[in-house]
Amino acid sequence: MVMDREELNLLLESAQRWFSDNNSFGARVTSFREGHRQTPEGWQALAEMGWLALPLTEANGGFDADHAARFALIRLAGEHVRPEALETHLLLAPAVVEVSPDQAEALATGAMRLGVADLPDRNGITADTLDGTCILSGRSGPVLGSQDATHYVVFVRDAAGVLRAALLAANAPGLSCEQARLIDKRDTVLLTLDRTPGLWLDQADDVGAGQRLRDLVAAGQVADAAGVLEVGFNLTLDYLKQRTQFGRPLSQLQAVQHKMADIFCDVKQMTALAERLAQEIDASPKGPWPTLPIAKAFVGRRAIRGMGQLIQLSGGIGVTEEYKITHLYRRLHVAATMFGAAEAQLARIGVRDVLQAA
């Protein structure tokens, strides 16, 4: 059942209120040295409101929300710079239920929480299969959604170089975690695996399934970035309307107006790319999604550039950690670099070859 516009608006209105009233962005900025951390009761509240059941089918006790609805909620979470890794749950929970249907209730109630490990810069994780169980060894990249995670999704390349995805319990034997923080001060861990048993989330004969799951996580970062960039633009616009120079608001200066107009175009392009990507995933769940590498590269090339210009327009306060724009910039960096940075995404569509040929 696809959510209609009225149902989606009601969901987003309730989310807007809850995000503002519970562990708000402003409250976290005042204590930024402690990190952008979710409250212990926060995830349970998401479950009680039914958000965690959104991606699950009706047969599994969910609402079968399409990706357009999920992206809208992820984007709103980005606007509020939420510390909860809501996007990993909304996009990967169905894949977990597909291979392990008895986990549907745990996912919907918040008892099962997913952290997703990125690929490391080098080496990585090796895999063997023993009696249908994957045995993993090696070291992962940073984990998105590590705080209170009960399970980790990790990506590994097999002997043929094909990317595959596996699900590991956080208390699995041979698994250890090194605590760290992302640049935006969200908690993360680096996983070390020593013959750690897990469950394949893809079938060996479904070539491309592992890459597809990683692309889903990357798509979540695109939706998150769309919300982050828009709220950064609105924050700066309000500042420019209030701050005066030479007897008039900064927003009336022509050079400032031209700069903001350019950034406004970036905001609208980012939003359009996220919406188109959601439509492509809904139309073709197994891919391909041609907008994904373009949209993810846009985050790393244009969105970050636009946010940097917003910092410049904010003046000296824009570079202080007590002001919100700095934290938005850092969050965009996480969205841009994790699960495929701009260069890697552009390489997938052969941009360099096209430019050289031209």
> Could you tell me if 227 and 328 are in contact, meaning their C-beta atoms sit under 8 angstroms apart?
no
- pLDDT, tens digit, for every residue of 225-241? 999 999 999 999 999 99
Topology agreement, domain 5-112 and domain 116-200: no
Return the pLDDT at 123: 77
- pLDDT, tens digit, for every residue of 59-80? 999 999 999 999 999 999 999 9
- How many CB atoms within 10 Å of residue 108? 23
CATH class for the domain made up of 116-200: mainly beta
- State the average pLDDT for the chain: 94
Return the pLDDT at 161: 82
Rg (CA), the chain: 21
> Could you tell me if 153 and 165 are in contact, meaning their C-beta atoms sit under 8 angstroms apart?
yes
Tell me which residues of the chain have a pLDDT lower than 50.
Answer: 358
Choices 1.10.10.10, 1.10.540.10, 3.40.30.10, 3.30.420.130: CATH for 5-112:
1.10.540.10
Return the pLDDT at 242: 95
**Residue 123 tokens, joined:** 């080496």
Report how far residue 267's alpha carbon sits from residue 262's, in angstroms, rounded to the nearest whole number.
9
- How many CB atoms within 10 Å of residue 234? 13
- pLDDT, tens digit, for every residue of 6-59? 888 899 999 999 999 999 999 999 888 889 999 989 999 999 999 999 999 999
Return the pLDDT at 133: 87
pTM score above 0.85: yes
CATH code given to domain 209-357:
1.20.140.10
Return the pLDDT at 246: 85
- pLDDT, tens digit, for every residue of 91-101? 999 999 999 99
Return the pLDDT at 205: 74
User: What number of CA atoms fall less than 13 Å from residue 279's CA on the CB side?
Assistant: 7
Sequence spans of domains, the chain: 5-112, 116-200, 209-357
Three state DSSP letters for 108-156: HHCCCCEEEECCCCCCCEEEEEECCEEEEEEEEEEEECCCCCCEEEEEE
